[in-house]
Structure 1
Amino acid sequence: MLDKVVYGVAGAAGASVVAWKTMFPWIHHDLKIIKVGKRVKTEMDKDFESGEFLIDRFEKHVYNQPRKPFIIFEGNVFTYEYIDQQANRVTNVVRTWGLSVGDTVAMMIYNEPAFVWTFLGLQKMGIATALINFNLCQKQLSHSVNVSGAKAFIAGQGAELFDAVHAEEGKFGGMPIYIQGCSANQVSTGYISFDDLMAASSPAGVDASVRAGLTPMTPACYIYTSGTTGLSKPVFMRQISLMRVSGGILFVDLTQDDVLYMTLPLYHSAGGGLGLYGSIRAGATMVLRRKFSASHFWEDCCRYRVTIIQYIGEMFRYLLSRPESPEEKSHQIRAAFGNGLRRDIWEQVQARFRIPQITEFFGATEGNTMLFNLSNKPGAIGRLSPLLQRLSANYQTLVKYDTATAEPIRDSNGHCIEVKPGEKGLFISAFAPVNFYKASQEANEKKRIRNVFKKGDAYFNFGDLFYLDRDYFVYFVDRIGDTFRWKGENVSTTEVANILTSLDFIHDANVYGVTIPGQDGRAGMAALTLYDDKPLTPELLRKFWKHCEENLATYARPMFLRLQKEATLTATFKQRKVELVKEGFDINLVDDPLYFADQVTKSYIPIKQDTYSRILTTSKL
């Protein structure tokens, strides 16, 4: 069908390939996406026709290739058979909890094999898993667990994880809490040793009939997003979604012969959804690290003969800042797959590290479409050409957007206005009327734009501004609203502001993200007003630091502070960020006192000329 459409377009443009390529010089980029997309669609259709779920695919690989390495972690090899046996133990433990298909269990586990077999063990029973960010603490943690509707909570091994859970003792609604990495005589009163239960559990497989009630629409897991309205919200990932997102990595043709290198957190849709689920789908091997290490990256890639890597843009900045090594050119990597690789370092990355294919993508956990750049076009995150828009199952486009009102611009008929090449706009996509967030109808509605091009239609609002060039490539410009991205994580300005204003000396906090030359994403900044127009004394700055350290994940802590006598508000008394974002922490533009988070003194220090120069020239912040 796709071929017929393409040939029709070609015929309309002229009698020869040369003719229509002359009229549409960008068409070869579209044809590449159409060709790959057709292959991916064929594979996905086979999955849906077979009625297989992701867990079925995993068990099929266990049967066909039991001794094949599935996870390589810290030098240890875990085969498909071994991971399956551990997953069976999990299943046999959970079967005694009285849960049914579709019930939810929360888990907060570091990047390690236990994450994989715990997740798969729950999938064998059709239990949905709330994947909790292991950086969370205090209210953020208890909220994330409780809002999922979980009936039990499994915390992974590690003193930091237990301390975070223990600090919120009594705030998990009375659900049982299981701790990995310790025995019954090591765990505190009120908690249950998961290791003891695993030791007594059988590794024998369970019949698929225990998940007989599973359907494509049954929740498989919940992946959290900061969204735009405060605390984290769990996004529905249904069984059908797991298969769809696992197919995303087919755009780099992942097969069972590949070795994928994974340093991204598995609780995210990129690391977990595309990476882990994609590896399961293909029957590939995944080299897993607890966290990214620039000093070990190329060594690992060579040692384990990695063929595909997943990245976020800042990862490459760290790698570029290191001295050159023989390993960075002697690897077997054929493709890099990820997002956030900006134009300013793209060609440098490709040339220095000799990576043949860089496939940048754009997507959102709760979104209904993805964009892919398969043309090695530096900085581009995908394409939005007339042909691809016509062929897309969900019409995708950019519409004009008013940054002052935070709303799309409407024409005289009340409809949105599509941008033209050379302009930037808000990315939206038509969607089926389903909810993306659990237990938050208001949040679901906020992600919808209605009456976009005709009365009664509805589009998903990604909350991102893109630039469309003359060849229909799109480039990320900025996030809008109350969320920005830093260190690969989404930061909710509302959530951070609520935590900052709980300090007794802060009257108001306007939180936003600012750009730093040479850094990806936006660093957190807070414009503060204090009660009684107090100054920010060294004592208060240390108190502020300690409060952030105890209540905010590392990536969410403001890197910059701005002390204002009066808050910057709109005419309707809403916080206004446009001017603040534009001025950032530039001492040449801002007359207000500015402060910088100093890791040495564990406090915030005034930004003077020397500090300002150091920030601008520091590669790692």
Structure 2
Amino acid sequence: MPSNRDKMLLGAAGTVGAGLLSWRTFFPWIAYDIAFLKRRRRTDKMREIDIRNRRYCINMFEEAVAKHPKKAFVIFEDRVYSYEFMNEQANKVANIAAKWGLKVGECVAIMIENEPSFIWTFLGLQKLGIAVAFINYNIKGQPLVHTIRACEAKVLIVGAADEIVHSVEEVKQDIGYIPIFIHGHTSCEWFQSWDDLMQQATHVSIYPSVREEMTPKTPCCYIFTSGTTGLPKPVIISQLRGIAMGKLFQLFNLTPSDIIYTTTPLYHSVGGGLGILNTLDQGATMVLKRKFSAHQYFEDVRKHNVTVIQYIGELCRYLLSVPESKLDGHHKVRVAFGNGLRADIWERFKRRYNIPYIYEFFGATEGIGFFVNVNNKTGACGRYSPILRMMDALEKVFVQVDIDTGEVVRDKNGHCIPVKHGEPGLLLSAIPAMLNDLQVYKGSREINEKKFLRNVLKEGDCYFNVGDIFSMDDDYFLYFKDRFGDTFRWRGENVSTLEVSNVLNKLDVIHDANVYGVEVTGAEGRAGMAAIHLEDNVTLMENILRDIFNLATEQLPSYARPLFLRFPKERAITTTLKQQKTQLRKEGFHPEDIDDPLYYYDDQNKTYSRLSVETYSQFITKSKL
């Protein structure tokens, strides 16, 4: 809702009304809105044309193949994969999958590292209208079982990495009877060699009529997110949403001549969503890295004449930790596009690496609504001025929340309370009445309903709970403040406290594990920490610490393993018997601030070791957090 200040400004605008020049004179910030609206109008028009012409992502790809078959689509480990070659491989995938008898919209899961086969497998399945679930190859155990079941995968295709194969083998009995195909291995009793099938398959094109039942609502892919309720949930990326995601780089006029550098995981919405789809939309080129390397990053950028880089905030911090070089600013990058770049390193990163424009955005994978900073404003992820609010089809509102319970604060009428200008607030995005049955996750209505808030500003309205806290400055620029609730972000990944707690609680000696994120000086996001209470008759011993270490290592991906353990004398709970995390987060993990025993994840000794004043500094320095 517009504040009194906003209403005053809008009222004054109406009295000025003498054209654009007068507006710019009266409102110095109007130029920001004009810059954004011009870009948005262009992308909206392009998106509408594609929707009308049913130009889905597979059509974008086949269009590029026909237009420039010999052009580089993917550059990977110094090998160039042309559009023509990638299409031949995709055709092989399509001819293999055609024999499975799957219908348009049914799902195949892929669990593959960053490599060209991820892309051509995805595109080959799209040729048949099959939805593709992007499985995080770091997960294992029950979370892996859950992800495969949640997307209702009919087939699982696995990459060649031994660790991935081992994770799948461990749960093969639990995922149900679905065919499993694996790269780089010969067939055995529980899987079939994908390489053998690819060698035998023809690369003759599949006729497009096989996917004629595809509609804008047909799932393109499923990208998983931790959310706030524990286990990963499959976010539905429809063909319609795929088109929209593929237009975001038009905010900075991406062209076919651009070269995009992608080092983030393709199972993630930044790499597999924005990276692939925007490359396809323009028939551009992607330089793909198997894993991020700070030391090789700008060497690759220079070597391949990269013009667009994708980032997450932590990535930029790692790049700043590399020793400076005279070559740092010598490259052809014109835009950095990403999210999570903190204000304290923004200018350092921009100056050192000579980045002309930084487009910082905010948009959750499952979120309704999107912000982007097109004005090069340090630290901001977008703007939401009175004019932009008036022209927003899906109004956004920032409301008060109870930091202890995680619940929105409501007034005597049961409505949410918008924050005052400049105060931090929880972002909610309006859902039109016609979309009240909106499904963002594949699954039950109950799962989706948890992300909705009703009767927010008036009876009967409905808003999507984005789950993040923002603040706004006097020029209406938005700044991401924190991820609210039971999820925190570490190493560029969302970590569910409930998921980690459920794993730790598997040990019989643990009565309760209260998991939360703590800030670490010089690091992006929050590191995992667990306040553990043992059963009454149990005394903390070295074997227990080792058991916790082994459990976390075996059943949690590296970014989700608690870096710190605390063994409090009393349980921290609220008056409503919910776990109290706020005070624990504030207290952090410095031994001088806490009387309770503290321990850190000691990979060298394969246990959790005592964190003392003496070892604290050594640990921070050695870990380079």
Task: Verify: 1:466 aligned to 2:470, yes or no.
Answer: yes
Aligned residue for 1:609?
A: 613
Tell whether the 8 Å contact from 1:144 to 1:233 is kept in structure 2 after alignment.
yes
| Shift of residue 505, structure 1, vs aligned partner | 1.2
Within 2, Cα distance between the matches of 1:440 and 1:428? 22
Percent identity between the two aligned chains: 49
Which 5+ residue runs of structure 1 have no aligned equivalent? 1-5
Report if aligned partners of 1:108, 1:155 keep a CA contact under 8 Å in 2: yes
- The residue number in structure 2 matching 1:585 is 589
Shift of 1:292: 0.6
For residues 157-181 of structure 1, the C-alpha deviation after alignment (integer angstroms, 9 at most, x for no partner) is 1211111110112112111101112
Contact 1:513 1:522 in 2 (8 A): yes
Contact 1:229-1:492 within 8 A present in 2 as well: yes
Alpha carbons 2:590, 2:613 under 8 Å: kept: no
Task: Return the alpha-carbon distance in structure 1 between the equivalents of residues 380 and 219 of structure 2.
Answer: 33
Residue from 546, 551, 574 that aligns with 1:570 = 574
In structure 2, what is the equivalent of residue 499 of structure 1? 503
- For residue 298 of structure 2, give the secondary structure of its aligned residue in structure 1: helix
Match of 2:62, SS state, is helix
CA distance in 2, matches of 1:608, 1:399: 41
Return the offset for 1:16: 6.2
Evaluate the alpha carbon distance shift between residue 16 and residue 88 of structure 1 in structure 2; reply closer, same or farther with a 3 A threshold: closer
2:366 counterpart of 1:366? yes
C-alpha contact (below 8 Å) 1:430/1:460 kept by paired residues:
yes
For 1:86 and 1:18, the matched residues in 2 are separated by 55
Which of these residues, 83, 105, 108, is aligned with residue 105 of structure 1?
108
Aligned to 1:131: 134
Contact 1:321/1:619 (<8 A) preserved: no
Counting only pairs closer than 5 Å after superposition, residues 250-269 of structure 1 correspond to structure 2 as 250-269=250-269
> Which residue is equivalent to 1:114?
117
TM-score (norm 1): 0.96
Q: Aligned-pair distance for 1:50?
A: 1.5
1:165 equivalent in structure 2? 168
SS at match of 2:119: helix
- Residue 483 (structure 1) aligned with residue 494 (structure 2): no
> In structure 1, what is the Cα distance between the partners aligned to 2:299 and 2:405?
50
Which residue does 1:421 correspond to in 2?
421
Q: What does the per-residue CA deviation read over 1:227-266, in whole Å, with 9 as the maximum and x for residues that have no partner?
A: 1111111111111111111112222221111000000011
SS in 1 for 2:18: coil
Residue 535 of structure 2: aligned partner: 531
Conservation of the 8 A alpha-carbon contact between 1:302 and 1:327:
no
1:209 corresponds to which residue? 209
Match of 1:548 in 2: 552
Distance in structure 2 (CA, Å) of the matches to 1:12 and 1:255? 41
Provide the residue aligned with 2:357 in structure 1: 357
List per-residue Cα deviations over 1:185-217 (Å, max 9, x = no partner).
x33312111111111111011110010111111
Instruction: Give, in angstroms, the shift of residue 440 of structure 1.
Output: 3.4
In 2, are the aligned partners of 1:449 and 1:459 still within 8 Å (CA)? yes
Q: Is the 8 A contact 2:16 2:23 kept in 1?
A: yes
Q: Distance in 2 between matches of 1:615 and 1:17?
A: 58
Amino acid at match of 1:298: F
Deviation at 1:607, TM superposition (A): 1.6
The match for 1:439 is: 443
Distance in 1 (CA, whole Å) between partners of 2:444 and 2:149 is 13
Q: Which amino acid aligns with 1:471?
A: D
Counterparts of 1:455 and 1:8, CA distance in 2: 28
Cα displacement (A) at 1:110: 0.5
Structure 2 matches for 1:183-262, cutoff 5 A? 186-262=186-262
Question: Aligned ranges for residues 383-402 of structure 1 at < 5 Å?
Answer: 383-402=383-402
Rounded Cα–Cα distance in structure 2 between residues aligned with 1:421 and 1:618: 42
Q: CA RMSD in A?
A: 1.7
Given that residues 75 and 287 in structure 2 are in contact (C-alpha distance below 8 angstroms), is that contact kept between their aligned partners in structure 1? Answer: yes
Matches of 1:64 and 1:168, distance apart in 2: 44
Structure 1 match to 2:4:
none
3-state secondary structure, aligned to 1:295: helix
The superposition leaves residues 22-76 of structure 1 with CA deviations (integer Å, 9 ceiling, x where unpaired) of 5433222111111111111121122112121110111011001100100000000
Cα distance in structure 2, aligned partners of 1:7 and 1:51: 39
What residue in structure 2 maps to residue 430 of structure 1? 430
Deviations 1:283-312 (A, max 9, x none): 100000011101111110001000000000
Which SS does the other structure have where 1:407 is aligned?
coil
Q: Check conservation: 1:259, 1:284, Cα contact below 8 A.
A: yes
Instruction: Describe the superposition over 1:391-440 as per-residue Cα deviations: whole angstroms up to 9, x where unpaired.
Output: 11211121122212312222232222222222110011012321111113
> Residue type matched to 1:256 in 2?
P
Tell whether the 8 Å contact from 2:510 to 2:533 is kept in structure 1 after alignment: yes
SS at structure 2 position matched to 1:524:
strand
Q: How many residue pairs are counted as aligned between the two chains?
A: 613
Query: Does residue 1:34 correspond to 2:37, yes or no?
Result: yes
The answer as to whether partners of 1:420 and 1:468 remain within 8 angstroms in 2 is: no
Query: 1:22 and 1:603 mapped to 2: Cα distance?
Result: 64
- Paired AA for residue 43 in structure 1: M
Deviation at 1:327, TM superposition (A): 3.1
